């Protein structure tokens, strides 16, 4: 084995999952050995790690580790590892390709609820020609985006361009042109009260875990034009209480839901969410990380670090995102 610095890549549980990433990194970082978890690389040679849902403990005992890169925008999968070395900086993906994909998904599903896509699919299956003369204009539909970060701001801005009446909610106060901004626990109720379609793009942290529950759904607007509030979650499954979503859909607290993320993934075949007529399920693919784009980003970050520049897109480990 060489004595060169190494990048350790850990994706899921098998080497096969890591394969496309290994090739992408090796092509961009010829001065490093690019190793998969389990490859024979001396721990002290590992300077960098790039990980997505790695086995907990796999990044411990690497004395030369300078930075850990998430292969996605979220870092909850890394920070949940109690053995993640405490002093090592963690960076996440901020990539225009990923951001654009997420906004496409959000627009698709907000427009689908607004223009009653499920209803017309059902009618077509029944060969039934029936119109709804009371469809509201986009400007009469209030969309609330939870999380005004990289993804939330892009989605909110594009929803505004379509014509929706858009608000956003974040931890600290934000000023986004054209968007009514609310912040913190003190701003949450007012934000929910004016929301017909709730779009969730929050990270999973100890503060946000489980917050999409019955109490929150009960605070959404009851006077909207869609026959009841709609939930759209592409943040993380750990944000939501699925039993409360199902109860809310059945008792009318919620009119419909589109979910890309789940308490347990893959969503179990037995989950009633698959079959509920008011639920749309997508398989955690609202915004996939493209190995080429993300390898470009991370390779650029490593080269910049080696030039002595600060790590870009580092997360605040005390804040958990």
Among 15, 158, 174, 247, binds ligand NDP (CB under 6 A): 174
Q: Which is nearer to ligand OXD, 251 or 265 (CB)?
A: 265
Among 233, 240, 289, 301, binds ligand OXD (CB under 6 A): 289
Beta strands in the chain (DSSP E): 6-11, 33-36, 46-52, 67-70, 90-91, 142-146, 165-170, 180-183, 197-200, 230-233, 256-259, 279-281
Residue 241 touches which of ligand NDP, ligand OXD, none (Cβ within 5-8 Å per kind): none
| φ/ψ of residue 312, rounded to 5 | -85, 150
Site size toward ligand NDP, by CB under 6 A:
30
Q: How far is CA 188 from the centre of its chain?
A: 20
Q: Which is nearer to ligand NDP, 26 or 94 (CB)?
A: 94
72 is a site residue for ligand OXD (CB under 6 A): yes
Decide if 197 contacts 226 (C-beta within 8 A): yes
171 is a site residue for ligand NDP (CB under 6 A): yes
DSSP 8-state symbol, 57: T
- Provide the CB-side half-sphere exposure for 166 (13 A, CA): 27
Contact range with ligand NDP by CB under 6 A, out of 55-63, 223-231, 244-252, 280-288: 280-288
Q: Name residues contacting ligand OXD, limited to 74-133 (CB under 6 A).
A: 74, 93
Residue 66 touches which of ligand OXD, ligand NDP, none (Cβ within 5-8 Å per kind): none
Where do we find the tokens 């699925």? 242
Residue 202 touches which of ligand OXD, ligand NDP, none (Cβ within 5-8 Å per kind): ligand NDP
147 is a site residue for ligand OXD (CB under 6 A): no
Cα(209)–Cα(321) distance, integer angstroms? 13
| φ/ψ of residue 267, rounded to 5 | -60, 130
For residue 270, the minimal CB distance to ligand OXD (Å) is 24
Q: How far apart are the first and last CA of the chain?
A: 37
Q: Which residues are catalytic?
A: 236, 284
- Beta pairing, strands 256-259 & 6-11: unpaired
Q: Name residues contacting ligand NDP, limited to 202-261 (CB under 6 A).
A: 202-205, 207-208, 234-236, 260-261
The CB-nearest residue to ligand NDP is 149
Chain positions contacting ligand OXD, by CB under 6 A? 72-74, 93, 289
């Amino acid at each position: 084995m060489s004595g060169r610095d190494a990048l350790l890549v850990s994706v899921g549980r098998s080497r096969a999952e890591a394969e496309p990433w290994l090739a992408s990194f090796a092509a961009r970082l010829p001065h490093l050995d690019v190793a998969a978890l389990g490859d024979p690389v001396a721990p002290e040679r590992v300077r960098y790690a790039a990980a997505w849902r790695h086995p907990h403990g796999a990044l411990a005992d690497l004395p030369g580790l300078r930075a850990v890169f998430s292969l996605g925008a979220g870092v909850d999968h890394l920070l949940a590892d109690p053995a993640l070395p405490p002093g090592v900086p963690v960076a996440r993906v901020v990539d225009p390709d990923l951001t654009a994909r997420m906004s496409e998904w959000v627009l698709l599903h907000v427009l689908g609820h607004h223009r009653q896509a499920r209803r017309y699919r059902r009618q077509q299956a029944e060969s039934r020609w029936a119109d709804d003369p009371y469809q509201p204009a986009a400007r009469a539909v209030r969309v609330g985006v939870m999380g005004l970060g990289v993804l939330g701001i892009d989605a909110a801005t594009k929803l505004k361009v379509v014509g929706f009446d858009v608000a956003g909610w974040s931890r600290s106060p934000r000023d986004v042109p054209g968007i009514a901004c609310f912040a913190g626990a003190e701003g949450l109720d007012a934000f929910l009260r004016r929301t017909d379609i709730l779009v969730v793009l929050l990270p999973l942290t100890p503060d946000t875990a489980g917050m999409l529950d019955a109490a929150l759904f009960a605070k959404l607007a009851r006077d909207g034009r869609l026959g009841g509030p709609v939930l759209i979650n592409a943040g993380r499954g750990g944000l939501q209480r699925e039993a409360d979503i199902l109860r809310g859909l059945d008792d009318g607290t919620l009119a419909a839901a589109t979910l890309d993320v789940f308490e347990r993934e893959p969503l179990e075949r037995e989950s009633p969410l698959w079959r509920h007529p008011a639920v749309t399920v997508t398989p955690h693919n609202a915004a996939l990380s493209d190995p080429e784009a993300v390898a470009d980003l991370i390779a650029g970050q490593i080269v910049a670090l080696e030039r002595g520049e600060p790590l870009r897109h580092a997360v605040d480990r005390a804040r958990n995102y």
